[in-house]
Amino acid sequence: MAIPVIDFSKLNGEGRAETMARIANGCEEWGFFQLVNHGISEELLERVKKVASECYRLEREPLFKESKPVKMLAELVRRRDIAGDDAKRLDNIDYEDVFTLSDDNIDQWTSLTPGFKETMAEYRAELKKLGERVMELMDENLGLPKGYIKEAFDGGKENANIAFFGTKVSHYPPCPHPDLVDGLRAHTDAGGVILLFQDDIVGGLQILKDGEWIDVQPVRNAIVINTGDQIEILTNGRYKSVWHRVQSTADGNRRSIASFYNPSLYATIAPAPQLVDNKQAAEQGMEYYPRIVFGDYMNVYVEQKFLAKEPRFINAAVRAM
Ligand SMILES: O=C(O)CCC(=O)C(=O)O
Ligand SMILES: [Fe+2]
């Protein structure tokens, strides 16, 4: 079983209907799919890989060696070896190095690595456009007016372009005890549409599908798309946010660059009326998915990211009232 790989260039020709159907299937049955021939130039993607890796080596690696996950893992192992403690897994930390780029923190983007800022700005502009295109295809597949999802994320027509677009640059360095700590613990994503540029070679990302963890197989220069909790709410559960995790590995330093197209913190997200079966909702006495303000949702999410997702919907809705 492998995550669907979809040729995006086929949208422009005879294969359009079939490609739309494959995207719908990716959203409904998988929550994750990979795009190839997505229109982002190989030359740009090669530059992104280069500057991200150089940045890690030059600026991040020395810090990672002194970081909390490294120290906590060493301490756990020391206790096991010296004091004979049963080594329990570290279940409250991720073995990763990460920083986030957004338009709000552009002044603080790392500048030591030659070409980093320029390349990442160019990459983010391209990915943002791709994210908007993917959201429009979702609108179409769902029978929503074109631009519906983006407008919801902006918090309405009058607030054009205030949805949040952030880019997380992560590395999962070699881990001496991959059995004792995850690279990133299992979770669903809080926001909207996520566009992930993962390592060409070093794997580790897995999704939970029908009760089994399966690999998101590395495909060179593909962009992996997945949907977060806000798309689950907006689609009234038709597109579910899917659990995923990153396993740590003993060898190889996995690079992954995840861009998040999320609602503005002020946007209210609710099931699209077109997707609510009123009869069913009436029978159940309520609509299952609440109306939430995304900022309230994030306040709940930061506390509960690695816990079951359903209580988050309820907790965020209570706070929003
Ligand atoms: O690094 C990855 O491949 C996944 C990252 C991820 O799941 C996240 O940032 O939410
Ligand atoms: Fe995630």
All residues with CB under 5 Å from ion ligand 2: 189
Banded pLDDT at 284 (limits 50, 70, 90): low
pLDDT at 147 over 80: yes
Residue with the bigger pLDDT between 86 and 210: it is 210
In whole angstroms, give the CA distance from residue 57 to residue 63. Answer: 10
Two structure tokens written together for 166: 């952030």
pLDDT at 58: 94
In whole angstroms, give the CA distance from residue 120 to residue 109. Answer: 10
Torsion angles phi and psi, residue 209, rounded to 5: -130, 120
160 CA to centre of ligand 1 in angstroms: 28
Considering only 144-148, 168-172, 213-217, 285-289, which range has the smallest mean pLDDT?
285-289
pLDDT at 320: 59
- Given a contact cutoff of 8 angstroms between Cβ atoms, the answer to whether 236 and 275 are in contact is yes
pTM for this predicted structure: 0.95
pLDDT at 109 over 90: no
Nearest ligand to the CA atom of 98 = 1
Q: Which atom of ligand 1 is nearest to the CA of 204?
A: 3
Two structure tokens written together for 258: 């995840």
pLDDT at 286: 54
Banded pLDDT at 321 (limits 50, 70, 90): low
| 248 CB near ligand 1 (under 6 Å) | no
| 227 CB near ligand 1 (under 6 Å) | no
Q: Tens digit of pLDDT for each residue in 167-176?
A: 999 999 999 9
What domains, with CATH codes, occur in the chain? 5-273 (2.60.120.330)
Q: State how far Cα 265 lies from the chain centre.
A: 17
Two structure tokens written together for 36: 């190839």
- Given a contact cutoff of 8 angstroms between Cβ atoms, the answer to whether 257 and 267 are in contact is no
pLDDT at 287: 61
Torsion angles phi and psi, residue 255, rounded to 5: -100, 135
3-state secondary structure string across 212-248: EEEECCCCCCCEEEEECHHHHHHCCCCCCCCCEEECC
Q: Whose CA is nearest to atom 5 of ligand 1?
A: 258
Q: Tens digit of pLDDT for each residue in 211-247?
A: 999 999 999 999 999 999 999 999 999 999 999 999 9
pLDDT at 319 over 70: no
pLDDT at 1: 84
Roughly how many angstroms between the first and final C-alpha of the chain, as a whole number?
43
| 258 CB near ligand 1 (under 6 Å) | yes
| 199 CB near ligand 1 (under 6 Å) | no
Q: How far apart, in Å, are the Cα atoms of 275 and each of 69, 144, 194, 236?
A: 43, 9, 22, 6
